[in-house]
Structure 1
């Protein structure tokens, strides 16, 4: 390579032109458009590279100035799937492997109608919207050349799996892939379960599964690269212009192929084994899209996860025994759905708590099932416009307290079997159980009881959440678990500036710590709610419904 070529390849700006003279030749306003964060804040963006300084001064995550991928809902027009929908990317021909990117706009993404639980087909949707195609080469060989010191990764629970011992495709055998897998193993996997440990299935089950599922492995590589970028504020060291989206796009191509194959097969143990990679890929992609706050594609993958889960757990498949990996994936899909359902409206297609059998029970299982039951009851009551539509077993403060007490005790009992590594982490986990106990009560009282009559009880629960959060000693280990409880605090802070400041500061702290910025839209929702007229929307759920009807959606997980 000539000195001039070397100079071009090391430029970290977005020009990549043949006449590029490196970073020093680019002015601060070399970005082509203002970043979306500055647009939302209604201020002029300085367009610094790699990210704008105005976001940095406010400790906000700058999404940059590039194009955003956006998915639209497709409907089959012929064949046995006519009229059916499923939000899964339909790939371009493999020879071209073209991925289409569009500038994301919250109002431009309209979620499709929910798939019927009896639907036996999976359809593939097309990328929609006006866009300019960007060709993604079929091969990803030598995509990354990371420069971080792998010896600095010291997670005692890491598998340190050797990809070379598996029969992977040639383009997945390079050093960049090994380093991204190592980063996932040591860093990313730690924030996926409630608490990290030697039995963390996001590590012990997902990584071995990825060695036999190319779509899952590629999704993990994309997640790792994007997480590194989010945490460090720098792009993953790369070569030839490749970024994490290349791994993501290739994963989506393979996922669409797997889905078409899965649709054509009959229910069997072998089919479930192959389908494990499909649901695992979708769940990883869900988490990938949660890293960047301006992405709306999590709804696409979430709906796909719902459909797969319902198919696996359909009554007529009761005789099919799911293996440990399948059961773990169903539980994780349910966890995602519980939190996702609690803050989204106009969609009554929740995964029922009945998908989890008693043998699937673990910490927070009973709590999650109860929250999903409360959410479904609230949605039903709103749909029929009758407070009496809620079962007396739920629309009763004493009964709710008893059921949440039972869930808390079960979580504490299950936690005794977990290996936390230290007594301090075990003690903090008991505090975390109390945090979710109080947050769950506050959410349920708001959803099913008269908020005016039970305002003192709700306020007591919110105070309990705030107090318990302050009691956690090992904050880094549990930061990722606090998003939903902090959001609940925010929903009950409309007239309290102090709790508003607490919720806002803590949500920003959590995002900075974890590298996942998905709750920026939720925080912006809270700010709008705090400033809204109580005469127009009496509570946060009514306000969220109004915004949902305008195409404004957010996810809190």
Structure 2
């Protein structure tokens, strides 16, 4: 006779503590008697949340004191969570990451593109960055009343006064080669003409080693802007920022238009970003439109040098996204405009790496191809000019020294530098200092040595070297009035005051502003 099945009786669940002890709970509330009789804290019969004192100890809910707090960031949707995941992924043991990066063979074709930040997921260039990273593209308005005296000493200001800088710039810009290289249409307002002239005279000069007809910032960008509204608005934006910082309220430069005629540069910036957001399906656009978008972003990046603000990472990601959207570096053509764009991109990839990510910087700077591309971009259109040979020789030597100084720091990863190592580091900075001192102050080419000086200054360990580089950056600021020079000096003082044992290369990766 087959055994009869027992009738199903649902299991009566008790408290968590009784179930762990494998005893039948009496299901008393709010706490069962079996737990109380043994002096145990009973969790009761309700839903048990695995929190400790109301706070999760690990997982995505760690640090949340209540259930509502779990969803406090949901208003920003998946973008905030995605950005948070990416930020957490970048953290960790820097020493282990750098050691692994040192052992990897550098692959130039993937150096700056294998990061998630440059992936194309939407047709509009600006939308790619705005939506994926949840970044507000409009930086905080400039504090136009802030003075440089808060950063440097009064004695140093007396050495590099605004009047002497105005005289220096006036001498540099006395040549007719600094004028706008195309006739001004009569229907363009005078304030736009003045801003174009300011860009031609004072901004484009800072971007090349030796100025002249080969300067693409003047002889390619400005003519292109004549028939392209997007590039024109970018040029006006950068010049308006420079005007507000250096012309308004001072006699540093002569400016014909009334200050009231110059629009708010923050509004101009906002309009340019809005124009970029309207650029869809770049891979299907004609070559001129592709050049327009890339030139616009490059000009805005120059604007971050003028203002010294921290929107450079946002614009650099946008630049890389735009390059991928148009089909890569190889689809820009063989024109002068394409060569100019690629030379600037190659330069930015090297200069930006130490200021954004230490591991990426190690890969980029240790790559011979990256170093060669950087030096080629600095000598763009100058290789056949014998008069520029001396300038380029100095520039290349100092830039290469800066690259070596940066790489030298990674020899000490995981170990404490010996006295010999410290002496070697000081000697490298001393050699850079002596080479730079041999270069006449105010000579053509010093304007492209700012990045190299910043890297060498970051490795300074003696008071003599720190004072020397302070004066170098004061001289640069007196010449161009760029906000990134002021921020660079502020940041150098932070680097010099770092705790013992901390690598200055790790501090540079948190700068997030462009020093160039």
State the TM bucket, normalised to the shorter chain.
0.5 to 0.7
Q: 2:295 and 2:499 mapped to 1: Cα distance?
A: 43
- Cα–Cα, structure 1 residues 442 and 346, in superposed 2: closer, same or farther, change >3 Å? closer
Q: 2:172 and 2:136 mapped to 1: Cα distance?
A: 40
User: Could you tell me which residue of structure 2 aligns to residue 199 of structure 1?
Assistant: 214
Q: Kindly indicate whether residue 488 of structure 2 is the aligned counterpart of residue 532 of structure 1.
A: no
- Cα–Cα, structure 1 residues 486 and 199, in superposed 2: closer, same or farther, change >3 Å? same
Q: 2:300 and 2:262 mapped to 1: Cα distance?
A: 16
User: Could you tell me which residue of structure 1 aligns to residue 438 of structure 2?
Assistant: 471
Q: Any conservation in 2 of the 1:491–1:540 contact (CA below 8 Å)?
A: yes
Q: Any conservation in 1 of the 2:358–2:505 contact (CA below 8 Å)?
A: no
Q: 2:449 and 2:192 mapped to 1: Cα distance?
A: 31
3-state SS, counterpart of residue 494 of structure 2: helix
Give the superposition deviation at 1:271: 3.1
Give the superposition deviation at 1:202: 0.8
Q: Any conservation in 1 of the 2:460–2:496 contact (CA below 8 Å)?
A: yes
Give the superposition deviation at 1:77: 7.4
Q: Kindly indicate whether residue 239 of structure 2 is the aligned counterpart of residue 280 of structure 1.
A: no
**Which of 179, 185, 197 is matched with 1:182 structurally?**
197
Q: 2:354 and 2:499 mapped to 1: Cα distance?
A: 23
Q: 1:152 and 1:445 mapped to 2: Cα distance?
A: 37
> After the TM superposition, which residues 289-438 of structure 1 pair with which residues of structure 2 at under 5 Å, given as runs?
289-293=304-308, 295-314=309-328, 318=330, 321=333, 323-345=335-357, 373-375=363-365, 417-419=383-385, 423=387, 426-438=389-401
Q: Any conservation in 1 of the 2:234–2:300 contact (CA below 8 Å)?
A: yes
Q: Any conservation in 1 of the 2:137–2:311 contact (CA below 8 Å)?
A: no
CA displacement 1:208-236 (0-9 Å, x = unmatched)? 11012112112212323433454456366
Q: Kindly indicate whether residue 459 of structure 2 is the aligned counterpart of residue 440 of structure 1.
A: no
Give the superposition deviation at 1:555: 2.9
Give the superposition deviation at 1:297: 2.2
User: Could you tell me which residue of structure 2 aligns to residue 117 of structure 1?
Assistant: 119
Give the superposition deviation at 1:201: 0.9
CA displacement 1:310-345 (0-9 Å, x = unmatched)? 33353xx85663533133223213312321221223
User: Could you tell me which residue of structure 1 aligns to residue 283 of structure 2?
Assistant: 267
3-state SS, counterpart of residue 283 of structure 2: coil
User: Could you tell me which residue of structure 2 aligns to residue 101 of structure 1?
Assistant: none
3-state SS, counterpart of residue 518 of structure 1: helix
- Cα–Cα, structure 1 residues 513 and 250, in superposed 2: closer, same or farther, change >3 Å? closer
Higher helix share: 2
CA displacement 1:346-381 (0-9 Å, x = unmatched)? 795xxxxxxxxxxxxxxxxxxxxxx77445x7xxxx
TM-score (ref. length: structure 2):
0.60
Give the superposition deviation at 1:298: 2.6
- Cα–Cα, structure 1 residues 472 and 119, in superposed 2: closer, same or farther, change >3 Å? same
- Cα–Cα, structure 1 residues 123 and 553, in superposed 2: closer, same or farther, change >3 Å? closer
3-state SS, counterpart of residue 393 of structure 2: helix
Give the superposition deviation at 1:501: 0.7
Q: Kindly indicate whether residue 260 of structure 2 is the aligned counterpart of residue 241 of structure 1.
A: yes
Q: Any conservation in 2 of the 1:286–1:298 contact (CA below 8 Å)?
A: yes
Runs (5+) with no aligned partner, structure 2: 1-74, 84-114, 142-169
User: Considering only aligned residues, what root-mean-square deviation do their CA atoms show, in Å?
Assistant: 4.2
3-state SS, counterpart of residue 483 of structure 2: coil
Q: Kindly indicate whether residue 181 of structure 2 is the aligned counterpart of residue 161 of structure 1.
A: yes
CA displacement 1:284-330 (0-9 Å, x = unmatched)? 1222232233x22233222211211233353xx85663533133223
Runs (5+) with no aligned partner, structure 1: 1-74, 86-112, 133-149, 349-370, 378-393, 395-399
User: Could you tell me which residue of structure 2 aligns to residue 256 of structure 1?
Assistant: 274
3-state SS, counterpart of residue 227 of structure 1: helix
Give the superposition deviation at 1:458: 3.5
User: Could you tell me which residue of structure 2 aligns to residue 481 of structure 1?
Assistant: 448
TM-score (ref. length: structure 1):
0.56
Q: Any conservation in 1 of the 2:399–2:452 contact (CA below 8 Å)?
A: yes
User: Could you tell me which residue of structure 1 aligns to residue 417 of structure 2?
Assistant: 452
Could you tell which deviates more after superposition, 223-232 or 234-243? 234-243
3-state SS, counterpart of residue 356 of structure 2: coil
Q: 1:306 and 1:276 mapped to 2: Cα distance?
A: 14
> After the TM superposition, which residues 95-114 of structure 1 pair with which residues of structure 2 at under 5 Å, given as runs?
none
Q: How many residues are matched?
A: 368
- Cα–Cα, structure 1 residues 470 and 156, in superposed 2: closer, same or farther, change >3 Å? farther
Q: Any conservation in 2 of the 1:163–1:178 contact (CA below 8 Å)?
A: no
Greater RCO structure (CA 8 Å; 6+ sep): 2
Q: Any conservation in 2 of the 1:439–1:461 contact (CA below 8 Å)?
A: no
**Structure possessing the higher radius of gyration over alpha carbons:** 2
> After the TM superposition, which residues 87-98 of structure 1 pair with which residues of structure 2 at under 5 Å, given as runs?
none
